[in-house]
Amino acid sequence: MSRVAAVQMASGPNISANLIEAERLIGLAAEHGADLVVLPENFAIMGLEEEDKVKCREQDGEGPIQEFISRQAALHDVWIVGGTVPLSTDDPGKVYAACMLYDGSGARVARYDKMHLFDVHIEASMESYTESLTILPGDEVVVADTPFGRIGLAVCYDLRFPELFRYMLDQGAEIFAVPSAFTAHTGKAHWESLVRVRAIENLCYVIAPAQGGYHINGRETFGDSMIVDPWGVVLERLPNGAGVVVADIDLERLRGIRRGFPSISHRRLQIAPSQTGA
């Protein structure tokens, strides 16, 4: 059995201030015995403008945000999923939204670039988002071995695309880590349903940290960070405010559920690999 934590924040445009808060919350998670800590999407920066993340982009493998995650992992001897970090691309106007996994020594184990970009207009709240203006999408499904089980990485809007999670399942995923920053409007409508259904249909644990609160740029995010078991039970959650939720992951329970309720092996349709580019 392993203990995992989901961190909830309300990040702003000041990277140093965000990292100080992330450091506090990672330390709190470690104090509660967490072996794995998952940070939310955009934990290091929620800019005043979308272009702000491009201005603070880092080269792959170096930079203050990546160094921070590595240092915190080694300091607390915990594995960390580093939310998302803006990494350089060949296009000077765009970044990858990279979700990276570090082990307890501070070494990077895996990198996933957010695949599905949030280009939407929410009529009810008159909000518009066009992530593709500043982010390049990834095209690789990422599942990594850890001492806690095989972890599949996804980010926020990815939750709405079940085929991605099926691909991770087919690569042996037992846990999904999904750093997020749902809007208040879409979160109220869909957040819990999406997190729980990804757990239920794949018989996997889901660790879903989120941005939650009011941000300096005027945005409001939904929060409600949660950890869900393979039967869809919400083990722990934090409706609002900065903080940490901690729960135990039991792979024997997961395997027992899969043996007794073998819906995964009952699938009749398969998705062609060419459909994701993975």
Which residue in the list 21, 53, 58, 114 is annotated as catalytic?
Answer: 114
Based on the residue annotation, tell me whether 188 is a catalytic residue of this protein.
no
Which residue in the list 131, 156, 174, 204 is annotated as catalytic?
Answer: 156
Cβ atoms of residues 228 and 205 within 8 Å:
yes
Gap between the Cα atoms of 214 and 200, Å rounded:
31
**3-state DSSP: the chain helix, strand, coil percent, rounded to 5?**
30, 30, 40
The residue type of 11 is S
Based on the residue annotation, tell me whether 99 is a catalytic residue of this protein.
no
- Dihedral (Cα; 243, 75, 37, 88), 10-degree rounding: 100
The residue type of 244 is V
Task: Indicate the length of the chain as a whole number.
Answer: 278
The residue type of 174 is E
Based on the residue annotation, tell me whether 94 is a catalytic residue of this protein.
no
Which residue in the list 41, 58, 131, 174 is annotated as catalytic?
Answer: 41
CA torsion sign, 67 to 72 to 78 to 84? negative
The residue type of 184 is A
Residues known to be catalytic? 41, 114, 156
